[in-house]
Amino acid sequence: MVPQQVLYNGKITTLYSKKPEVTALSVTDGVISAIGSDDEILATADQHTEKIDLQGRRVIPGLNDSHLHVIRAGLFYNLELRWDGVPSLSQALAQLKEQADNTPPPQWVRVIGGWNEFQFVEGRMPTLDEINKAAPHTPVFVLHLYDSALLNQAALRQLGFDRDTPNPPGGLIARDSRGNPTGLLIAEPSALILYSTIANAPKLSFEDQLNSTRFYLRELNRFGITSVSDAGGGGQNYPEDYAVVKNLNDNGQLTVRIAYSLFAQKPGQELNDYSRWLGMTAPGDGDHLLRVNGAGENLVWSAADFENFLQPRPDLRPVMEQELEAVVSKLAEARWPWRIHATYDESIGRFLDIFERVHRQHPINDLRWFIDHAETVSERNLERIQALGGGIATQHRMAYQGEYYIRRYGRESARRKPPLRQMLKMGLPVGAGTDGTRVASYHPWTCLWWMVTSKTVGGTVLHEEADRLTREEALRLYTHGSAWFSHEDHCKGTLEPGRFADLAVLSDDYFRIDPDEIRGLESLLTMVGGKVVYGTGDFARLSPPLPPVSPDWSPVARFGGYDSRSPVPPAHHHTPIMAADGRVWETGCGCGV
C-alpha cells in the first residue's frame, strides 16, 4: 500500500527493540506502516504521498502524561496567569501588575500553581504588600502548590472576608493582631480551603471554554504531548464538565488523546456517585481520542492524604476503611479499574489492606488499577502492589517540593523518593507525568530532566547517581510506560508498524545535549495519528491555525503559557546548602525554608 505520509532524514528513536533508531517512517490511515532507512521508506511513496524532511532532527514517540488534570485545566487556561518557568519574582510581579491593569471587572487575576519560590533568582515568595501594590483594585488569587494561597485586599473584599469570618473546614485564614484577615490562606490539613475559595471567582462562557481548551491543548502539543490520562479533580463534575472536550472531539479539534477517570465530588456521597456513573458509562466508552478509563484519583474524600510537606503527615480517619472498601468493592465487581491518590507509605499500606480483602471476593489483578504519586512507598508495599497486578503513576512533585520534604524529614530520607529505580528493578508498571496544573507545572521536560538529574527546580540534588534514570528509561516511562495505565500499550508509546503515528520532532537532540538543557526542549512538529497538530520554525506551514484567544484580555494572549527562556536553575544565593546529615540549612534569603 502506498503511504499517505513519509517522514525522512531524521534521527528517529522508536523505543522498538528490533529497530531502536531509524531515519524514516511512513504513515497510512494514522498508523505507522513502516520504519527503516530513507531509501527503503521513500521507495514506497508516490506523487501523492506527503513527504516531510526532518532535517536531521531527533524524533521521539509522542509524550504521554500519566497524571494531568487536562480537562479542568482547559476550562480555565485562558483565565490564568502562568508563572511556570518564570525566572524571577520581579518578572512575575510585573506580569501580575500588567494583567491586573487589563482585567475587567468582575474577573480576577489568578496564578494557579505550577511554580515555587526556588525557581526565582530572588529565592523568595512574593509578599502581600507586593501583591497589593501590583493590583490595588482587581481581585488576585495566587496559589502556592497545594499548601497556601495569597489574596489581595480586593479579593478579600470581594469574598466578604473580615474579622468575623470563621475558618472553613480543613483550612486557616491568617489574621493580623486585630483579627483581620491578612490575605494568607493555609491548607491545614487539607486543600479544601483553596478549592472552595477559587471556586468563587467567575468562570468563562462555554464558547470561551472551548477556545481556552484548544489553546491549552496547543500548549501541550508545543512540548510534544500527544496523550494524557486525566485524573479528574475537585469541581470537575461528570458529565457536565466533560461537554467541552466532547464538543472538540465531535468537531475534529481534539489534539491530545485523553483517557479520563471519574473523580468523586461530594464527601459522604462517593458510593452514590459511582453507583450512578456505573449505570451511565463504562471503561472504554468513547474512541481513540476521548475515552473513559475508570475511577479516581479521588475515590473517597476520607482517603485523601494531601502532599503538603510543610505540614505533618495526615493521619487518615478510621472511617476511611469502611468508605473506601465499599467503593472499591463495587468497582471491582463491575470490572472498573481505578487510580487512587496516595503520597505516604502509611496510607498506601492501609489502602492495600482493603484491596487485598476485595481481591479475595472480586479478583483485581487484571484490572490495571494503580497508585498515583507514591513518593514514600516502601519496598514491602511495592511487593504488595505487584502481587495484586497494580502499577504506579509517578510525577515530578518532588522537583517542586524537595526542599520542603528535606526540611521536614531530612536529606537522607529524600533519597529514592519516589523509589523509581527500585520500581523498575522489580518490573512494576510505571508511568511518568506531572500532576499539573496546580501542584506542579504541566511542563513534561521538567519531569524528564528531574528523572535524569534528580534536581529540584531550585537546583537541589535529591538522589545519588545510581538511583537516577537514564534518558532512555525516563523517555520510556513518559511514552510506552504511561500507555499501560489506559490499556493502550498495544497501540501507542513506540514508533513501530501498527502503532499510532503519534510523535514529536524536537528542537534539539534529547540524547546528546547537556542534561540541564533538557528543560529547554520543545517540539518543532507534533503529530497525533499522523495529523499535524503543532508546527513551528521550518514546520510552521504545516501547523493548523487557531482562532484568536478569547476573551481578548486573557493572560494567554499577553504572556502565553510556560516560560522556556530560563530553563536551567541558576546557582544563586538562595540555593539550599545542607550539612552531610541533612539537618542544617542555610539559605541567606529569609524565604522560610
DSSP class per residue in 463-517: S-GGGSPPHHHHHHIIIIIHHGGGT-TTTSSS-STTSB--EEEESS-TTTS-GGG
Quick one: which H or E segment has residue 264? none
Distance CA 351, CA 370 (A): 11
CB within 8 A of 147, min separation 6: which ones?
A: 186, 187, 191, 308, 310, 311
Max Cα distance, the chain (Å): 80
The dihedral over CA atoms of 191, 85, 455, 432, expressed in degrees to the nearest 10, equals 70
CB within 8 A of 166, min separation 6: which ones?
A: none
Distance CA 211, CA 203 (A): 13
Q: Is the peptide bond before 202 cis (omega within 30 degrees of 0)?
A: no
Burial 272-311 (b: 16+ CB within 10 A, else e): ebbeebbeeeebeebeebbbbbbbbbbbbbbbbbbbbbbb
Which pairing describes strands 171-175 and 148-151: parallel, antiparallel, or unpaired? unpaired
Give the pLDDT means over successive 10-residue stretches in the chain (593 positions).
96 98 98 98 97 98 98 98 97 98 97 95 96 98 93 96 90 95 89 85 96 98 98 93 98 98 95 96 98 97 88 91 98 98 97 98 98 97 98 97 94 93 98 95 98 96 95 98 98 98 98 97 98 98 97 97 68 36 30 30
Concatenated DSSP letters of 339-364: EEEE-SHHHHHHHHHHHHHHHHHS--
Task: For residue 293, give the 3-state DSSP assignment.
Answer: strand
Q: Please list the residues that pair with 13 across neighbouring strands.
A: 21
Task: For residue 5, give the 3-state DSSP assignment.
Answer: strand
* pLDDT score recorded for residue 566: 53
Q: Please list the residues that pair with 139 across neighbouring strands.
A: none
- Side-chain half-sphere exposure of 302, counting CA atoms within 13 A: 17
Task: For residue 234, give the 3-state DSSP assignment.
Answer: coil
Contact criterion met (CB below 8 Å) for 526 and 224: yes
Query: Order of strands across the sheet with 50-53?
Result: 31-36, 24-28, 5-8, 50-53
CB neighbours of residue 545 within 10 Å: 4
Q: Please list the residues that pair with 556 across neighbouring strands.
A: none
Distance CA 272, CA 148 (A): 31
* pLDDT score recorded for residue 564: 81
The helix-helix angle for 206-222 and 243-250 (nearest 10°) equals 70
The helix-helix angle for 345-361 and 379-387 (nearest 10°) equals 20
Quick one: which H or E segment has residue 462? none
| Cell representation of residue 494 | 513506540
Distance CA 174, CA 180 (A): 8
List the domains of the chain with CATH numbers: 68-203 (3.10.310.70), 207-492 (3.20.20.140)
Distance CA 552, CA 549 (A): 6
CB neighbours of residue 102 within 10 Å: 15
Contact criterion met (CB below 8 Å) for 8 and 41: yes
In terms of C-beta density within 10 A (0-12 exposed, 13-18 middle, 19 or more buried), how is residue 328 classed? buried
* pLDDT score recorded for residue 585: 29
Distance CA 247, CA 416 (A): 43
